[in-house]
């Protein structure tokens, strides 16, 4: 039984669906692995361990237990993308440039060649990404209603919200367990999309 699969997968910043797609297995199969309903074959077990950059023993819970903040030193099959600054998941704040590189899966980086990271601050999107997580954004991806976007409001404030455009107005919607957060409505010309969120990860040592 893969007792640590869920912990390692969450630490990598992926959903169950993400992991299933990257491992090229049906979603129900992957979910059954995490739930302990079924176990992968030995060949799949090795492939899972290599993909997440951990040992087979770590996945199986053999030896010393993984600490609560366990995080692979580097994602298997990864490159890097720049972390440019901090973006609010609450009230808009001004971004500040940070010169740092963050690991991104090769398959994600290759598909979104101009992608970049912003660190999330606040809890208005905590159903999607937690405070302190890194949102990976594609500046070339045109958002559709329901997508999560990073957006500049009035040219200097940046926030992360769900995007919904109706006519000449854009509604920026929270997706949060905190009911105090309210939608932000602005005219289309006031909102400049910085990028559409296509992936996410968390820094080493992140505590869930």
SS3 of residue 34 by DSSP: helix
Say which of 97, 124, 127, 165 is annotated catalytic.
124
Q: Has 161 been annotated as catalytic?
A: yes
Q: Residue 29 belongs to what H/E stretch?
A: helix 27-35
| Residue carrying structure tokens 């580097």 | 74
Say which of 78, 121, 141, 161 is annotated catalytic.
161
Number of residues assigned to the chain: 208
| E-state strands within the chain | 78-88, 100-105, 116-121, 134-138, 148-153, 157-166, 169-173, 184-187, 191-201
Q: Has 124 been annotated as catalytic?
A: yes
Q: How many CB atoms lie within 10 A of CB 32?
A: 15
Task: Measure the CA–CA gap between 92 and 148, rounded to whole angstroms.
Answer: 15
Q: For 65-74, which contacts have Cβ atoms below 8 Å and span 24 or more sequence positions?
A: 66/4, 66/7, 66/8, 68/207, 68/208, 69/205, 69/206, 69/207, 70/4, 70/7, 70/8, 70/11, 71/11, 71/12, 71/202, 71/203, 71/204, 71/205, 71/206, 72/8, 72/11, 72/12, 73/204, 74/103
List residues with catalytic annotation: 124, 161
């Amino acid at each position: 039984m893969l007792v640590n699969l869920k912990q390692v997968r969450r630490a990598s910043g992926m959903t169950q669906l993400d992991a299933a797609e990257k491992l090229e297995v049906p979603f129900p199969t992957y979910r059954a692995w995490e739930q302990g309903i079924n176990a992968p074959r030995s060949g799949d077990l090795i492939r899972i361990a290599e993909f997440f950059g951990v040992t087979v023993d770590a996945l199986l819970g053999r030896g010393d237990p993984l600490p609560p903040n366990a995080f692979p030193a580097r994602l298997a099959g990864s490159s890097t993308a720049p972390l440019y600054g901090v973006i609010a998941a609450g009230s808009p704040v001004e971004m500040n440039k940070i010169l740092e590189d963050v690991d991104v899966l090769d398959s994600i980086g290759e598909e979104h060649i101009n992608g970049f990271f912003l660190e999330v601050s606040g809890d208005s999107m905590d159903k999607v990404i937690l405070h302190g997580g890194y949102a990976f954004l594609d500046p070339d991806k045109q958002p559709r209603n329901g997508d999560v976007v990073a957006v500049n409001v009035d040219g200097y404030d940046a926030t992360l919200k769900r995007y919904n455009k109706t006519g000449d107005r854009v509604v920026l919607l929270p997706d949060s367990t905190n009911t105090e957060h309210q939608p932000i409505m602005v005219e289309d010309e006031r909102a400049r999309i910085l990028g559409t969120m296509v992936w996410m990860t968390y820094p080493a040592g992140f505590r869930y």
